Amino acid sequence: MTLLDSLRGPQDLKDLGPNELTSLAAEIRSRLISTVSANSGHLGPNLGVVELTIALHRVFDSPRDPLVFDTGHQSYVHKLLTGRQADFGTLRQPGGMSGYPSRAESPHDHVENSHASTSMSYADGLAKAFRLRGEHDRTAVAVIGDGALTGGMAWEALNNIAADRTNRVVIVVNDNGRSYAPTHGAIAAHLAQVRTTRRYENVLDTVKSALPRTPLVGAPLYETLHGIKKGIKDVLQPQVMFEDLGLKYVGPIDGHDQAGVERALAHARGFGGPVIVHVLTRKGHGYPPAENNNEDHLHQVAAGTDPLTGTTFKAAARTWSHVFADEILEIGHKREDVVAITAAMLHPTGLAPFAAAYPDRVFDVGIAEQHAVTSAAGLAMGGLHPVVALYSTFLNRAFDQLLMDVALHRLPVTFVLDRAGVTGPDGASHNGMWDGSISQLVPGLRIAAPRDAARLAELLAEALDDDGPTLLRFPKAPAGDEVPGLGTLGGMDVVARPQAGAAVDVLLVGAGVMAGVCADAAARLADQGIGALALDPRWVKPVDPALAPAAQDARLVVTVEDNGISGGFGDAVARALREAGVTTPVVPFGLPQEFLTHDTRGDILKRAGLTGRDIARSVTEAVSERGSEDSDSVVGSR
């Protein structure tokens, strides 16, 4: 039995000596590499926090002292140290361990969302609750990366934490200079000085060479810093930034020095008030393939990765992200007014080729979706057409900015949402099943959903020709085969029609990739003698006016979308038909309105009934139950 497997929980760590702790760290890294390479998941971030996580559990008393991991993708080591070693082989597998903290798995997991910059707010609330309940020996610990510190919510929390000197909050800044990719912004640059500058006599030369190259603000910022009376040395030290807020600062500490980290954390715990512990770590530490990967230090690896080399055994399929990357690059060649914004997701959203070709036209704002959207509004006001590329799930964080800062001003901003619909193994917080509902609420916003790669190119071009706000959504999946169009109905594409001479019994309308599913269902219905017309609406908002007369002549209208069933495309179609006086029943198919557990994308869609086979079966039953066109029965929604 290995030392790691012998641990029953965090309490067993407290009895280990220095040599045993070194051996344990090596065993953890080995387990991380073998399991994550086989199953997929976040590798680089976890390799970087091995010593830090061991130290946290040796100093604090989890779960009585809650450890809140910001974003949560770096919590694998925490899982291994809290009695879950035996199940770690099921990581990100159907029915297995989550890739993020999970309250259902362990009392040591207090927070299970995976959206960034929230940990300090949770810790603030927990610490206040402990104080009010008279539990003065409990400490709330937030572990936040320098990437997550770029999010505005983190600074809102700091503002409140610093105002109350009695709350027992320890904030561990895991500073590796990166979120997914290198961290951007002034705060990141401030912290970076600690990593790059150790002696005062080198500071001025560093500032002279680096700051003037910063677009727009470099030279003025240098002059300002040069003239500050307290001295450039103090300005460049991060403790000034935090202590000016009233927070005790400890650091910077080498995050891979086990004993040093422990001493710093113990000092912070004993202080009895809010403390910042600044820990310098290296993403991918201890694993050469990750350390030498300059793009993201193997932030996330696919299943079937070679643990010896960090490369995948199987060539990656061409995804929707790849298609978008090619199209936006081609558009960039033709249109100088097109600029791009992303929130720490340059490579995952497909903007890296565009950035390489046009570095002055891409803005990575860090983990700050709200700022990204309002900054895009300003760019549009200035005469440009910004493309805001985000994961679908992260648009939720910037809804107010989409509504009030972009749509209210009717600005030409195009939102490109990657990972829309079901993402699968990433779990509940990453499924992009909300944007199709919340964006339906936004006046003047047009929403497109391509069914295949060719339609992505068409719709992106149309969106960028619009003089108002537009949104384009596509899934995390291979782009797949083309779904040919057989004609048009208004602005919609026909993707399947009844056999010659057959009546249209059912109108199938599939949003985005679900148009192909509808085409498959139509073929299956034809085998049952049911005539089906399948349509790809292309633009799911507004509903095409040509849909109402087509629905009038059908016995049943079926909508299919990979979005939550409430308030999405199906509801919009039902409302549009009702307003047009069409009484044909509408049956919406979509994702159940619940937090979906992690699984493969295909299996989640199957369970939701979003396959051609399932839809054809349900429609056949519905048509049979109706009996005749004048039946008053209405099929219930899934």
Residues written for the chain: 638
Catalytic residue among 58, 168, 248, 283: 283
CB 290 within 8 A of CB 308: no
Helix, strand, coil shares of the chain as percentages rounded to 5?
Answer: 45, 15, 40
Query: What is the SS3 assignment for 341?
Result: strand
- Token pair belonging to 123: 């810790």
Residue 269 CB contacts under 8 Å (≥ 6 apart), including other chains: 59, 60, 139, 170
Query: Which residue in 158, 182, 451, 215 sits closest to 339, CA to CA?
Result: 215
The answer to whether the bond into 252 is cis (omega within 30° of 0) is yes
- Token pair belonging to 256: 């891979």
User: Going edge to edge, which strands form the sheet with 140-145?
Assistant: 67-69, 140-145, 169-175, 275-280, 248-254
Specify whether 462 is catalytic: no
CB 246 within 8 A of CB 36: no
Q: Which residue shows structure tokens 């904030």?
A: 171
Residue 307 CB contacts under 8 Å (≥ 6 apart), including other chains: 33, 34, 37, 38
Beta bridge partners of 67: 141
Alpha carbons 88 and 97: distance in angstroms, whole number: 7
Catalytic residue among 128, 248, 361, 397: 397
Alpha carbons 63 and 78: distance in angstroms, whole number: 11
Task: Give the angle 10-16-21 at the CA atoms, nearest 5°.
Answer: 90
Alpha carbons 317 and 397: distance in angstroms, whole number: 30
Beta bridge partners of 446: 470
Alpha carbons 150 and 343: distance in angstroms, whole number: 10
User: Going edge to edge, which strands form the sheet with 586-591?
Assistant: 488-489, 492-496, 532-536, 506-510, 556-564, 586-591
Q: How far apart are the first and last CA of the chain?
A: 49
The answer to whether the bond into 359 is cis (omega within 30° of 0) is no
Catalytic residue among 369, 497, 541, 626: 369
Helix (H) or strand (E) holding 140: strand 140-145
Specify whether 283 is catalytic: yes
Specify whether 369 is catalytic: yes
Query: Which residue in 466, 452, 476, 474 sits closest to 386, CA to CA?
Result: 466
Task: Give the angle 119-121-123 at the CA atoms, nearest 5°.
Answer: 70
Query: Which residue in 499, 477, 494 sits closest to 602, CA to CA?
Result: 477
Q: Where are the beta strands (DSSP E) in 481-585?
A: 488-489, 492-496, 506-510, 532-536, 539-541, 556-564
- Token pair belonging to 580: 């047009």
* Active site positions, annotated: 283, 369, 397
